[in-house]
Amino acid sequence: MPSPENAPARSPFAGCLILLILASVAIFLISVSAYSLIQQNKEIDTFTASTPTPMTLPMIEGNEAELNDLHARLQRFRDGLISHPEETTSIELTVADLNYALATMSPLQDYRPYFSIKEIRDGAIIADHTRPMNGMPGSGVKRYLNGVVTLKPILAEKMLVFQVAELTVPSKTVPREFIAQIPPYRLGIDMQKDPLLGPVLEKLTAMEAVAGKLILRRRPGEVSQATVSDQQVDSAFMRILRVLVCGFLLIAGLGIFFGLRAKAKKERSAAAQS
């Protein structure tokens, strides 16, 4: 065994230097991420509002005939899907039909405060829109994205999916990067087990928007090619939040390491004195 005199010399500052570098990196990451988060929220504040825009949906009273007609057509469509699987079955829904559905159907009640359909174009649905958003984390402040939204209808994974394609806010500009991060609206996740709606979603083969109409269809042999991943593109906010968490964990780990090191040093000193 080598004697203590021949043991290689070790710098007591090498470990401390590494730890100081790691701590500096962690503090830098947290500082940059916190600054980016603050700047991002300032930018979001420029095109959002403190209050939502009320949505205007048709009144039920006085429109019973139109509602009864819509419900009768929906029932015939469902019966055709279930009872005649070998036949092509479709339904055409107008702007008025969609607004009546929003106003009266319980599966759509969560979306009722946020949409009022204005127009159906080829490949798109145009709607007045408001969307609640959280402000700075921990502030409890709500912001609202009010404007006109363009939705692309997609049938995917036994769900009716409406992808946000455009978003117009009065007198403001919404960055394209922000629009791209808005997750799609999905109808069907909770409906797939519903005894009435589940079979309808399972048998649909197409959903498409043409001028003035949204068409739902089941055609034998037709296979929907559209897919929408469950994992949407991460927003900038979530990326920043992950960096912040990693930075805090790194600093916490360094604190624990220094604490254990100081405790061990104190125990060695006490043992040497005894």
Q: Is residue 45 a part of any domain in this protein?
A: no
How is residue 258 written in tokens? 């220094």
Domain containing residue 199: 64-236
Q: Is residue 266 a part of any domain in this protein?
A: no
Contact call for residues 170 and 130 (beta carbons, < 8 A): no
Asked whether the predicted pLDDT for residue 105 surpasses 90, the reply is: no
Read off the pLDDT band of 231 (50, 70, 90).
very low
Read off the pLDDT band of 43 (50, 70, 90).
confident
Average model confidence (pLDDT) across the chain: 79
Contact call for residues 56 and 116 (beta carbons, < 8 A): yes
Q: Is residue 24 a part of any domain in this protein?
A: no
Residue that wins the pLDDT comparison between 254 and 31: 31
Q: Is residue 197 a part of any domain in this protein?
A: yes
Q: Is residue 211 a part of any domain in this protein?
A: yes
pLDDT for res 191: 76
Min mean pLDDT across 29-38, 109-118, 157-166 is at 29-38
Q: Is residue 258 a part of any domain in this protein?
A: no
The structural domain count of the chain equals 1
Render pLDDT for 129-155 as a digit per residue (tens, 0 to 9). 999 887 666 667 888 999 999 999 999
Q: Is residue 85 a part of any domain in this protein?
A: yes
Read off the pLDDT band of 193 (50, 70, 90).
confident
Contact call for residues 181 and 233 (beta carbons, < 8 A): yes
Q: Is residue 76 a part of any domain in this protein?
A: yes
Please give the Cα distance from 217 to 227 (Å, whole number). Answer: 17
